[in-house]
A and B are shown apart, each in its own frame.
Chain A
Amino acid sequence: MTQNTINTPASPGMAAPATAWLLRMGKGRFLGNRKARLALVILVPILLLTAFAPLLPLQAPLETNLRAMMQPPSLAHPFGTDRMGRDILARTLSGVQISLFVGLSVALLALVSGMILGTLAGFLGGIVDRTVMSIVDIFLAFPSLLLAIGLVAVMGTGVVPVILAIALADVPRFIRLQRSLVLSLRSRAFIDAARTVKARKSWLMSRHILPNTVAPMLVAASIAAANAILVEASLSFLGLGIMPPVPSLGNIIRDGQTYLEQAWWISTLPGVVILAIAISFHFLSDGVREALDPRSRQ
């Protein structure tokens, strides 16, 4: 512990010690975790393929080829082609980019706003707590996909409205989690101990309470990212998310629905990719939890 503190640059705030702590505690155990490794084994190839998609010998995602319409999977078109001769793999990889962007943006938005509002509610209590929590209750009264559908109906389609709609549906859960973490930490013995040596409230908050909420909130965030990818795909599938011609996993599958009998590959193969991403995020969250929680040793 001590030699690491010396190496940490003396930057103010809670971010530096918390991140340093996460890296220190997490790295070895995260990579040593079976589930985390499995997640990386699935996710890293998908990320590499997505990042280097332009270098692959594939058609561009939007390029049509009328001489190769509705081709089944082959070496030239590993996922086949659609009714306009567009390459499904290229479109899928382009869709994965949007999916990951949506997933990470939603997780980040929900994490940051959930931490701020949840901490305020949990730490200040009283009228602030009651106001925030009754608004949270109102948002939680909507089934999540339906809330997102309603919000997109108002805000319109496209990447930004989709991110905002999904994040708005997620934030209440993060507020609730952060608040409950703050409340349960407040009554722990080490906080009492810090109080007895006259630690200031801001010190308690930044040094003792917030760093201890980071791990569970990160676990929640990686589940939220996976969930956001699924919700974005559902919205796009319903024709309310990301609209053609921009390829997204949901709207590629929607395109293929009409040709399910003649060209099964259009709808099924991109779905396998969504499933693989969802599974890897799920394992990732398990890995993060097991690596960061000192009590859950394997």
Chain B
Amino acid sequence: MVEYSLKKFAQLLFTVFGVVTLVFFTLRFIPGDAASAMAGDAISGEALELLREQMGLNAPLLSQYLIYIKGLVTFDFGVTITTRLPVADLLLRALPVTLSIAVLTIVLTVALSIPLGTLAALMAHRGQNGLDNLITGTAMVLDLMPSFWTALVFLLIFSLTLGWFPASGTVSFDAPMDFLKRIALPVLVLSVTQMATMARITRTAVLEVLSEDYVRTARAMGWSEMRVLFRHALKNASLPIVTVIGLSFGNLLNGTVIVEFIFTIPGIGNLLINGINSRDYQMVQTLIVFYALLFVGINFITDIVYRALDPRVKF
């Protein structure tokens, strides 16, 4: 176990190093350079030269790279070009917002998709394909709806027409109830687009278990349907579900960018889009690296948890 984790961790470090290097050199490929791209047509000549100097673009590439790596390791990501605030501070302020959305989405997705997936499997097992097809079909359509469109449709129905959720307002942890109300709709939108995969996995896993001999034995022993379901089917289905939670985390991060943009929620996704629009490469560079780290970190943890849970996997 420990040996496997260490080996995986070494691989992780290598990938992280690759990510950091790739992002650095990609940004150096901007036509012209980051300073002139950032300034646009606004400044030229000496002022541009000064900006270059400030951004450290006049130093040799290797030393720029080393400064960048040192900055990442010491959590000093530089300052934004527009507001001159430290990028690290902005990131730390936005992160809890995005993470709350992500965690609540995972909770709601699990709460919605496991009962639906199990129900679909039960129906399919009994040969009642009508309800099974309805659930499976709906899940597929929800999965293929572009998340930004789903968000607008939900906004139109639940906020603007029915008035159940506020469409705008400040987002602050000081007022937890307001905060929850504000992120409720984004979380609902993300869960709806995420639940398809998990419902499908649950359905397959439960359906497979239901036709096992030991389930027939349990039924023959007079166990109630519920007991069979919980003791055997769901217990065995839990492993693939854990894996899916981990694997769909990348999709979830993609989705948070979209909903933060639509619902103007001050998370890291909004920071990223604003960063790109104001050509703030310091910010964009840091955030892209950060998203990648978050993603590979979660994948690493999922892998380890999966191996720890599954008695069949030997180290």
Note all chain A residues with C-beta closer than 8 A to B14. 134
Known pairs A150-B23, A154-B29; A271 contacts B253 (CB<8 A):
no
Flag if A274 contacts B292 (CB, 8 Å): no
**Known contacts A238-B258, A253-B152, A271-B153, A137 near B146 by CB under 8 Å:** no
Q: CB-defined interface of B57-95 with A at 8 Å, one 1/0 digit per residue?
A: 000000000000000000000000000000000000000
Q: Decide yes or no whether A174 CB sits under 8 A from chain B.
A: no
B215 in the interface, Cβ–Cβ < 8 Å? Answer: no
Proximity bits, A134-147, B CB within 8 Å = 1, else 0: 11011101111111
Instruction: Name the contact of B272 in the complex, choosing from A138, A149, A154, A274 (C-beta under 8 A).
Output: A149
Contact A143/B295 with A134-B14, A149-B257, A240-B276 known, Cβ cut-off 8 Å: yes
Q: CA A191 – CA B291 in complex, angstroms?
A: 43
Question: Which A225-262 residues sit within 8 Å CB-CB of chain B?
Answer: 226, 230, 233-234, 237-240, 250, 253, 256-257, 260-261
Closest residue of chain A to B23 (Cβ to Cβ) is A150
* Given contacts A146-B288, A234-B258, A261 and B160 within 8 Å (CB-CB): yes
B261:A238 contact, CB within 8 angstroms: yes
**Bound Cα distance from A240 to B272, whole angstroms:** 12
In the complex, which residues of chain A have a beta carbon less than 8 angstroms from the beta carbon of B19?
138, 141-142
Residues of A within 8 A of B153 (CB): 268, 271
- The smallest beta-carbon distance between A275 and chain B, in angstroms, is 6
A148: nearest chain-B partner, CB-CB: B254
Residue of B nearest to A257 (CB): B152
Q: Do residues A282 and B140 form an inter-chain contact, with CB atoms below 8 A?
A: yes
A275–B150 CA distance with the chains assembled, in angstroms: 10
**Nearest CB to that of A151 among chain B residues?**
B26
- Which of A138, A147, A153, A226 has a CB less than 8 Å from the CB of B276? A153
Interface string of B245-265 (1 = CB under 8 A from A): 000001101100110011000
User: A234 contacts B146, CB within 8 Å?
Assistant: yes
Count how many chain B residues have C-beta atoms less than 8 Å from C-beta atoms of the other chain.
43
Does A59 sit within 8 A of B, measured CB to CB?
A: no
Contact B291 A142 (CB under 8 A): yes
The CA of A264 and the CA of B157, in the complex, are separated in Å by: 10
Q: Does A278 have its Cβ within 8 Å of any Cβ on chain B?
A: yes
Which of the residues B23, B144, B250 comes within 8 Å of A282, measured between beta carbons?
Answer: B144
A: number of interface residues (CB 8 Å):
40
Residue of B30, B141, B254, B273 touching A275 (CB-CB under 8 A): B141
Contacts of A146 in B (CB 8 A): 253-254, 257, 272, 288, 291-292
Closest chain-B Cβ to A266's Cβ sits at a distance in Å of 10
Any chain A CB within 8 A of the CB of B147?
Answer: yes
Given contacts A238-B148, A250-B148, A253-B148, 15 further A-B contacts (CB under 8 A): A143-B250, A144-B254, A149-B272, A150-B23, A153-B284, A154-B27, A230-B144, A233-B149, A234-B148, A238-B273, A260-B155, A267-B149, A267-B152, A279-B141, A282-B140
Please, could you name 15 A-B residue pairs with CB atoms under 8 Å apart, sorted by A? A134-B14, A137-B11, A137-B18, A138-B18, A141-B18, A142-B291, A145-B257, A146-B257, A150-B23, A150-B284, A234-B146, A238-B148, A238-B273, A253-B149, A256-B152
Q: 8 closest Cβ contacts across the A-B interface?
A: A271-B149, A138-B18, A145-B254, A143-B250, A278-B144, A150-B288, A143-B253, A153-B276
Residues of B within 8 A of A (CB): 11, 14-16, 18-19, 22-23, 26-27, 29-30, 140-141, 144-149, 152-153, 155-156, 160, 250-251, 253-254, 257-258, 261-262, 272-273, 276-277, 284, 288, 291-292, 295-296
